[in-house]
Amino acid sequence: MARDLLGTVLRRTAAERPWEMTAIVLLPDHLHMIWTLEDLDLDYSVRVSAFKKRFTREWLASGGAEAPVARGQRRHRLRGVWQRRFWEHTIRDARDFKMHLDYIHINPVKHGLARQPKDWSWSSFRRYVQMGEYDEDWCGRVELPGTVEYYWNE
């Protein structure tokens, strides 16, 4: 339910404040995205704020749970759905893009949620395999459970 709502909210927000979802991975407690915005448009904050507010409102209205927040946070109208801040990075060049793309797609393996990126359904990895950016077995296979080790097939 949360995944479906998140997808709907991201699409609606992108329709109002356009961006292209270049890459994404959704994990149980966080997500990573690479967006492509129009030239000279660097207003990530407005977009992130809009989709976080919309998701929070609709999630709580549907009976979704939230983590407890301190009284001071509640006074500032903060809710226990999202972390307060987000990290933003403007991609500098092709090498930087590839590094961030790899980071996003290896994340489910890094967190012990999948043996290989292809095993994680909530990711743009398969789209990049179809585009020829990755081999389907990119990064090898990780033994789970236990300490996660991953291998880069370059």
pLDDT of res. 88: 83
Q: What is the pLDDT of residues 85-126, one digit of tens each?
A: 778 888 999 999 999 999 999 999 999 899 899 999 999 999
HSE, CB side, 13 Å, CA atoms: give it for residue 151.
7
Instruction: Write the CA distances from 106 to 73, 110, 135, integer angstroms.
Output: 33, 6, 13
pLDDT of res. 144: 54
Domains and CATH numbers, the chain: 1-86 (3.30.70.1290), 91-154 (3.30.70.1290)
pLDDT of res. 135: 93
**DSSP type of residue 118:** G
pLDDT of res. 29: 84
Rg value, the chain, Cα: 17
pLDDT of res. 117: 95
pLDDT of res. 152: 40
- pLDDT tens digits for the chain (154 residues)? 888 999 999 999 999 999 999 999 999 888 999 999 987 787 888 999 899 999 989 988 999 887 777 777 677 667 777 777 778 888 999 999 999 999 999 999 999 899 899 999 999 999 999 999 999 989 876 555 554 444 443 3
The Cα–Cα gap between 9 and 56 comes to 10
DSSP 22-54: EEEEE-SS-EEEEEE--TT---HHHHHHHHHHH
